[in-house]
Chains A and B, each alone.
Chain A
Amino acid sequence: MTSKLTYMGTIGLAAFSCVAAAPAFAAAGTTAGTQIINTATVNYQVGGIAQGSQNASNTIMVDRRVELLVEEDGTTTTEVSPGQTNAVTTFRLTNKTNEILDFALTASQISGIAAAHGGTDSFDVTNVRIYRDNPAGAGVGTYDASDTLVAYADEVGIDASIRLFVVADIPAGLGTNAVAGVRLTATAAEGGTAGSPGALVTQTAGANTAGKDTVFADAAGVTDAARDGSHSDDDDYTVKTATLTVTKSSRVVSDLVNGTSNPKMIPGAVIEYCIAVANATGGVAATSVAITDSVPTQLTFVPSTIKLNGTVTGTTCDFNGTAGGSYAAPVVSGTLPTINPGQTLTLVFQATVN
Chain B
Amino acid sequence: MRTALFLILAALMPGQALAANQVALDNSVFIERVMTDAAGKQRVLLEEPKVVVPGDKLLFVLNYRNAGAQPADKFVITNPLPSAVRFADAGDTQPLVSIDGGRAWGRLGELTVQQADGTRRAAQPADVTHIRWAFQKPIPAGASGKLMFRGVVK
Interface residues of chain A, those whose CB is within 8 Å of chain B, are: 1, 4-5, 7-9, 11-12, 14, 16-17, 19-23, 25, 28-30, 34, 36-65, 98, 204, 207-208, 210, 213, 215, 217
Contact = CB atoms under 8 A, between A and B. Distances in A.
A217 to B, nearest CB: 7
A313 to B, nearest CB: 70
21 contacts: A1-B106, A7-B74, A11-B74, A11-B76, A19-B83, A21-B83, A36-B52, A38-B85, A40-B25, A42-B77, A44-B75, A46-B22, A46-B68, A50-B13, A51-B18, A56-B5, A56-B6, A58-B2, A58-B4, A58-B27, A60-B2
Contacts of A60: 2, 29, 49, 52, 58
Contact of B74 (A21, A43, A204, A210): A43
A53 B147 CA distance: 18
B121 interface: no
B23 A98 contact: no
B76 A208 contact: no
A18 to B, nearest CB: 9
A5 B23 contact: no
B62 interface: yes
Interface in B1-33: 1-10, 13-14, 17-29
Nearest to B78: A41
Choose among A17, A19, A60, A215 the residue with the greatest number of B CB atoms under 10 Å from its CB.
A60
B80 A213 contact: no
A66 B33 CA distance: 19
A65 B54 contact: yes
A19 B80 CA distance: 8
A254 B107 CA distance: 107
B20 to A, nearest CB: 8
A210 B48 CA distance: 12
A51 B25 contact: no
Interface stretch (B36-44, B112-120, B129-137): B129-137
Given A8-B96, A39-B80, A55-B6, A215 B25 contact: no
Contacts of A20: 83
Q: How large is the interface on B (under 10, 10 to 19, 20 to 34, 35 or more residues)?
A: 35 or more
Given A44-B76, A56-B25, A60-B2, 13 more contacts: A9-B105, A12-B102, A12-B105, A19-B80, A36-B82, A39-B79, A43-B74, A50-B74, A51-B72, A52-B20, A54-B21, A54-B25, A213-B50
Contacts of A23: 83-84
Nearest to B5: A56
B146 interface: no
A31 to B, nearest CB: 9
Interface in B35-73: 49-55, 58, 60, 62, 64, 68, 70-73
B85 A36 contact: yes
Contacts of A54: 6-8, 21, 23-25
B51 A213 contact: yes
A49 B54 contact: no
A45 B102 contact: no
B17 A49 contact: yes
A8 B134 contact: yes
A242 B97 CA distance: 72
Contact of B84 (A36, A58, A217): A36
B78 A40 contact: yes
A1 B111 CA distance: 11
Contacts of A25: 84, 154
Given A44-B76, A60-B29, A51 B82 contact: no
B106 A14 contact: no
Given A51-B18, A59-B4, A63-B53, A38 B60 contact: yes
Given A60-B29, A208-B50, A8 B105 contact: yes
Contacts of A215: 51, 53
